[in-house]
Amino acid sequence: MKVLITNDDGINARGILALAKEISKKHEVTVVAPREQKSASSHSISIHNPIRIREESLDGGFKSYSLVGTPADCTQAGLSLLCKDIDLVISGINRGLNCGTDILYSGTVSAAVEGAIYNVPSIAISMEVDWDRYDEDYTKAAKWISKVVDIAEKNYLRNDVVLNVNVPNVNEDEIKGIKVCKLGKSTYKNSYVLLEDSDDRVYEIKGTRNDICEEDSDLYFLSKGYVTLTPLHFDFTNFKIIDEVKNIFED
C-alpha cells in the first residue's frame, strides 16, 4: 500500500521515525509532518497564513517533508499535493495517550480524521509515556500498529472510519492483548498557578486526570494493560436523539 504518515509532535519526533521505519518494511511510505511541535492543535487548519513545505532527509530512505502548519494541513497537503493515490493515512506515534474525550484536543487524531473526511482509511496511534522522562522506546507501539495495519488491510479498511489505537506504558511482555472499546470520559482537576501579576496575569495550568468511572472504556482497559482500539467518525450528530429534538424544534 501507499501510506501517508504524519503526526503532531513534529518531523523530528522519535515516534514518527519509529513508525515510518516499521511501516516501510511492507509498504511505500511518505512522511509529511509539522516542522515544529503542534500538540493539542485539534483540527485547526491554516486559512490566514501560507504554508511552507520543505523536503527533509530522515534516516529511513522514504520521502519526507516538513510543513509550517498544522497536523490537518499536513494530511491535506500530503493527499492533495505531495502524494498520489494514498491507500492509508497513519498519524503518530504520539508521545502520550489520545484516549477518552481528549481526542477532541488531539492534533494526532485530527490528522487521521482529515484523511477520513477525504475518503482515505486512517489510523491514529499513541503511546503512554512517563512525562518525567524522555527515554521512551517506541518499538513496541510500532509493532502493534504494524499488526493493526496487517489486519485492517486484509479485513477492514473503511474509508470513513478512523481507528484510534493507544498503547499502555507497560513492558511489551506485559501487554494482555487488544480491546476494541468505546471512548471514556476524560476530565481533569485543574489548578492555575500564578506566575506573574501585572496588567496581564500569567498563569501556568496544571491538571491531574480524575478517577476512571467507566469499566468498558479505553481509559479502563489501558489501565489494565491492554492496547485499545476505538473506531471513530467525524460526524458528531447524536442520532439517538435527533427525532426527539426534531419534534421539539420543528413546526
* CATH number for position 27: 3.40.1210.10
- Condensed to tens digits (0 to 9), the pLDDT of residues 33-48 reads 999 999 989 999 999 9
The per-residue pLDDT for range 227-239, each reduced to its tens digit, is 999 999 999 899 9
In a domain? residue 15: yes
- pLDDT tens string 103-122: 999 999 999 999 999 999 99
User: Between 27 and 158, whose confidence is greater?
Assistant: 27
**Please, what sign has the CA dihedral across residues 22, 27, 31, 37?**
negative
Angle at which helices 139-155 and 14-23 cross, to 10°:
40
Residue 240 lies in a domain: yes
Q: What is the mean pLDDT of residues 5-29?
A: 97
Q: Which of 139, 150, 146, 145 is nearest to 124 (CA)?
A: 145
Whether 78 is covered by a domain: the verdict is yes
The per-residue pLDDT for 94 is 97
Residues 143-155: what's their mean pLDDT? 95
Do the domain assignments include residue 50?
yes
As given in the structure block, the three cell numbers for residue 55 are 523536503
Task: Provide the domain count of the chain.
Answer: 1
Q: Residue 196: beta bridge partners? A: 202
Q: What is the mean pLDDT of residues 86-100?
A: 96
For residue 173, pLDDT over 90 is answered with yes
pLDDT digits (tens, 9 = 90+) for 186-220: 776 778 888 888 889 898 888 777 676 678 899 99
Query: pTM of the predicted model, to two decimals?
Result: 0.91
pLDDT of 10 above 90: yes
Does residue 192 lie within any of the structural domains? no
To the nearest whole percent, how much of the chain has pLDDT over 90? Answer: 76
Find the domain containing 30 and state its range. 2-185+213-249
Does residue 45 sit within a domain?
A: yes
Judging by beta carbons within 10 Å of its beta carbon (0-12, 13-18, 19+), is residue 161 exposed, middle or buried? middle
- pLDDT at position 191: 82
The DSSP output letter for 121 is -
Any domain includes 35: yes
pLDDT of residue 210: 66
pLDDT at 199: 87
Angle at 239 between CA 235 and CA 241, to 5 degrees: 135
Residue 190 lies in a domain: no
